[in-house]
A and B are shown apart, each in its own frame.
Chain A
Amino acid sequence: MAIVVARNLDKTYDTGDVSVRALRDVSFSIEAGSVVSFIGPSGSGKTTLLNLIGCLDKPSAGEIRIDGTDVGSLDRKQSARFRGENIGFIFQDFNLVPILTVYENVEYPLIMVRDTPASERKELVHELLEAVGMADQQLKYPDQISGGQKQRVSIARALVTKPKLVLADEPTANLDHKTAHLILALMKKIRTELKTTFVFSTHDPKIVGEAEVIYSIEDGVLIGRQEKGSGCNA
């Protein structure tokens, strides 16, 4: 069953006199529980596409449905609520809140987004910190841990609300090769345990192979789809 369905997506940015068409007639679907990657060079439109899937932006034309909801029609508050309930984010720069400890960063969405009771929160946070191997670092602040550890915390934060979909924009760009593979392996392990759909963008060919479905994007146009173990379906 498809969790993300996009039809004829177009996105144009107007900056004064200049108009930039970032996406052109993009259509695709993502099956629930899969690990999907969008690859392409810088400026190809990967981040724009993830922003549309993540309800952070609206398409200029076309339709995008997540778990049956037309997210393009949601207003600002509805989008925020939808994100909080259905989508987790992992960022290239980790974007942990610097004033919160590792534990509090993971706990944050449960307090500020979900209003989860304290006892339940504790259990969920510990479960996720154990899963990403950061339980022993929970009292440290982001500036006291390494980049790989920050990304682990970021993954725990994205998953703590048990979202249906996790979006990761270049999640390994700031990590060394070994750590990047460890992070992707961790994502896949959690996917298996929690049945979460992972969508990530990258332009690093070394980690693309970790995805089960790979979409290639160039100049805002989807130019190919490849399933692991099969040929290219351009």
Chain B
Amino acid sequence: MHNIFKIAVRNLMRYKRRTFLVATLIALGVIAVQVFVASSSSYKSLIISQITDAMLGQMQIHKKGYLVSVENVPMNLNLDRHGASIVEGILDSMPEIEAYSPRIRLGGMISNFVETTNIRLYGIEPEKEYRTVPLLPKRVISGNAELKPGQILIPKLLAKGLNLKVGDQVVIIATNKDGSVNGRQFIVGGIVESAPGPGGRDGYIGISDAAELLRMDAPEISEYAIHLKRFDKLHAVYEHIAARLSKEVNPEGKAKFEIHTWESLAPFANIAKMIDLMSIFVKVLLIAIVLVSIMDVMIMSVYERTREIGTLAAIGTMPGRILAIFVSE
């Protein structure tokens, strides 16, 4: 084997320019694949982190059936105090979880006393929310993200449409689950930049304010957003929580809760899959181009050296050894 390598190396040195060309080709191919893979995966990671860390959370837990009705913001599918304590008990016991945030989701009307339009809001506990979606405070482009009681963070587009600025008063009108209409005044505490994906154009108020607006006796929770210590453990943690939640059943024996990863909550998951597929395709294409080029050079090398191959064969070199010389090369 040593001698085969020796001959191969000498042949490579014999055709220095060709060897340099092939080595350059391989290097360029590898670099092209690496650059493409790095840029496509970093783009994917960036968008995923924008979605999960700026509004959605990496996972969400709801009362069973909430997600299919999420567009209607159903008030009758919130978790009551007992359900919330079960979920929090599970989440508190899991060291893989960095933070979680209870939310009340509601839809209503916002008025600047001159104009009125629709708004969708999250009722949040700011400290928990900012730990769960750490990029949310950075989306506050005007005012601050402190969100004191009686304050509201309104989305940028809405602020522009209603000509609102920080410190202005607005009225939020919402319907609770009994159908009664309630209203409350808020002060604009900040303006939030829009973000891609579901919930990217929603406003924020304190969870107590949301409970008061909806005249809840005690805060009911629409969803828990979850942030993990390690994103790469997402599916393992998901499986674990799902297994524990599945043990919680109502008197009819049906599951009380549902859990979803960001992939089933954001349409970008499909684009991410397409990016992965495209990435594989481009990788295969680049590798094929490099391999075909190498094969081309190799065929040329074999044709040029047919006399030499003939000599080696005539001397009695076994066909496998002649092949080994070229393959080593």
Contacts and interface: CB of A to CB of B under 8 A. Distances in A.
Interface in A91-116: 91, 93, 95, 97-100, 108-109, 111-113
A54 B319 contact: no
B315 A108 contact: yes
Main secondary structure of the interface of B (DSSP, over half): helix
A113 B319 contact: no
Contact of A95 (B7, B307, B318): B307
B250 interface: no
Interface in B299-329: 307-308, 310-319, 321
Interface residues of B, number: 19
Contacts of A76: 319
A83 B14 contact: no
A186 to B, nearest CB: 19
A100 B10 contact: yes
A77 interface: yes
A97 B3 contact: no
Interface in B1-47: 3, 7, 10-11, 13-14
A56 interface: yes
A160 to B, nearest CB: 10
Contact of A112 (B13, B307, B310, B312): B312
Interface string B177-206: 000000000000000000000000000000
Contacts of B313: 56, 80
Contacts, number: 61
B316 A77 contact: no
Nearest to B318: A80
Chain A: interface size category: 20 to 34
A95 B308 contact: yes
A83 B315 CA distance: 7
Interface in B215-239: none
Contact of B321 (A82, A98, A112): A112
A99 B315 contact: no
Contact of A99 (B14, B316, B317, B319): B14
Given A95-B307, A99-B14, A112 B317 contact: yes
A99 B301 CA distance: 14
Contact of B315 (A82, A89, A98, A100): A89
A188 interface: no
B317 A91 contact: no
Interface in A47-84: 54, 56, 76-77, 80-84
B316 A85 contact: yes
A89 B315 CA distance: 7
Contacts of B319: 76-77, 80
A113 B308 contact: no
Contact of B314 (A89, A97, A108, A112): A89
A157 B315 contact: yes
A113 B316 contact: yes
Nearest to B324: A112
Interface string A123-134: 000000000000
Contact of A97 (B13, B308, B316): B308
Interface in B55-113: none
Contact of A84 (B3, B11, B316): B316
Interface string B269-312: 00000000000000000000000000000000000000110111
A101 to B, nearest CB: 10
Most chain B beta carbons < 10 A, residue from A76, A80, A84, A100: A80
A174 to B, nearest CB: 14
B308 A80 contact: no
A56 B311 CA distance: 11
Given A95-B311, A111-B3, A112-B3, A81 B318 contact: yes
B311 A109 contact: no
A80 B316 contact: yes
A112 B311 CA distance: 13
A83 B318 contact: no
Nearest to A84: B316
Contacts of B7: 97, 99-100
A108 B222 CA distance: 81
A188 B14 CA distance: 36
B313 to A, nearest CB: 7
Contacts of B3: 111-112
Given A80-B316, A84-B316, A98 B311 contact: no
A54 B314 contact: yes
A54 to B, nearest CB: 7
Nearest to B7: A99
A99 B319 CA distance: 20
Given A76-B319, A80-B316, A80-B317, A99 B311 contact: no
The 8 nearest A-B residue pairs measured at CB: A84-B316, A99-B10, A95-B311, A83-B316, A113-B316, A89-B314, A112-B317, A111-B3
Given A56-B313, A80-B317, A113-B315, 12 more contacts: A80-B318, A81-B318, A84-B317, A89-B311, A91-B314, A98-B14, A100-B10, A108-B315, A109-B316, A113-B316, A113-B318, A157-B315
